Structure 1
Amino acid sequence: MKKLHPFLAALLLAGATTLSLAHGDDPKTGKAAVVAKEQKEWGIAGDAKFVTRTVTLTMDDNMRFTPDKLSFKQGETVRFVIRNKGKLLHELVIGTKKELDEHAAMMLKFPTMEHDEPYMAHVGAGKRGGLIWTFNRPGEFDFACLIAGHYQAGMVGKISVAAATH
């Protein structure tokens, strides 16, 4: 009997008929990766084919993002190019203030916790990473580095998504 490829087995176990897949950039390799699409309050994983805008963010060991305020229109699919100019690992995580607060608290308790979602990019010292995100819901959202201590030091930013006008 032939063995199933582990990815295919996982899809079958997850109920592949309800799983939607999209291609984005893998933040670790920079190459196209397959990610599961899950609607979040702040949007959904984007598809590289539909990128309408590219935003470059830099992170540094002063625990800051540049820029730290971003504005989008509902429906925009954004490619984030993330440059880590520091000597420490940093990450970009998009979410609501509540979600980021909860996640940051978990990271303090479990600093080596593995996590990898389409709205996150982990970028090594002196490296570049990225993610693609579709802001399909209007509102005020946040982004942060949730590595233990970084969020608490103020490594945060704001995202404003204006409602689409029809």
Structure 2
Amino acid sequence: MNASKFLVLAASLLMSATAFAAGAHSGGHGTGSGEPGKASEATRTINVEMHDNYYEPESIDVKAGETVRFVVQNRGQLVHEFNIGTPSMHEAHQKEMQMMVEHGVLKGDHIDHEMMEMDMGDGHSMKHDDPNSVLLEPGESKEIVWTFTEKADLEFACNVPGHYQAGMYGDIDFE
């Protein structure tokens, strides 16, 4: 590779990594939809199963001000995400998740955790650690505790490339 192509590639990777880290993976895509909650304040627990391109349940009812503990299990054969946010947040996050595929972090049925930790420049990584989201390999289970601070246009979704488009999202309805 000649020097000019290398510099263009390096600059684009650095810009992408900076944009990536400035998005979901440092500030969280849940901004505006609520905030991390305290487990001791959760009023109920909702079990969520992720299957290959659908969730059980398909929709969730919440109240403004309510703190909910989500126990999320990946029952599918692929890596899946449970992410609470607005439709526009999911659209932006899908681009970041595509970058994770392009860089070899997401590999269909598993996550390359070593690549996820890799320094993408300026101390940023592809670590997926937002409080409103979990990224799970098949068989894994994790929890999210979330306080829905006010009524908003929200949904939960899997933003792994192609999954949202295949129907892997559900509505969060306010009572």
TM-score by shorter chain over 0.5: yes
Q: Who is 1:42 aligned against?
A: 33
Residues 30 and 84, structure 2, Cα contact 8 Å, conserved in 1: no
Q: Who is 2:113 aligned against?
A: none
Q: CA RMSD in A?
A: 2.1
Give the number of equivalent residue pairs: 126
**Which of 94, 104, 109 does residue 94 from structure 2 map onto?**
104
Question: Where does 1:39-118 land on structure 2 (aligned, <5 Å)?
Answer: 40-61=31-52, 63-111=53-101, 112=105, 113-118=126-131
Task: Tell me the distance in 2 between the aligned counterparts of 1:142 and 1:70.
Answer: 9
Is the counterpart of residue 121 in structure 1 residue 121 in structure 2?
Answer: no
Task: Tell me the distance in 2 between the aligned counterparts of 1:85 and 1:39.
Answer: 24
Task: Tell me the distance in 1 between the aligned counterparts of 2:29 and 2:135.
Answer: 19
Residues 91 and 146, structure 1, Cα contact 8 Å, conserved in 2: yes
Give aligned-pair identity as a percent.
37
Q: Which one has a larger percent helix, Structure 1 or Structure 2?
A: 2
Q: Who is 1:151 aligned against?
A: 164
- More relative contact order, 1 or 2 (CA 8 Å, 6+ apart): 2
Q: Which one has a larger percent strand, Structure 1 or Structure 2?
A: 1
Look up the SS of the partner of 1:40 in the other structure. Answer: coil
Alignment gaps of 5+ in structure 1: 1-35
Is the counterpart of residue 139 in structure 1 residue 152 in structure 2?
Answer: yes
Look up the SS of the partner of 2:153 in the other structure. Answer: strand
Letter in 2 for 1:86: G
Letter in 2 for 1:159: I
Deviation track 1:45-72 (CA, whole Å, cap 9, x = no partner) reads 00011010100111111x0011111111
Task: Tell me the distance in 2 between the aligned counterparts of 1:127 and 1:72.
Answer: 25
Alignment gaps of 5+ in structure 2: 1-26, 106-125
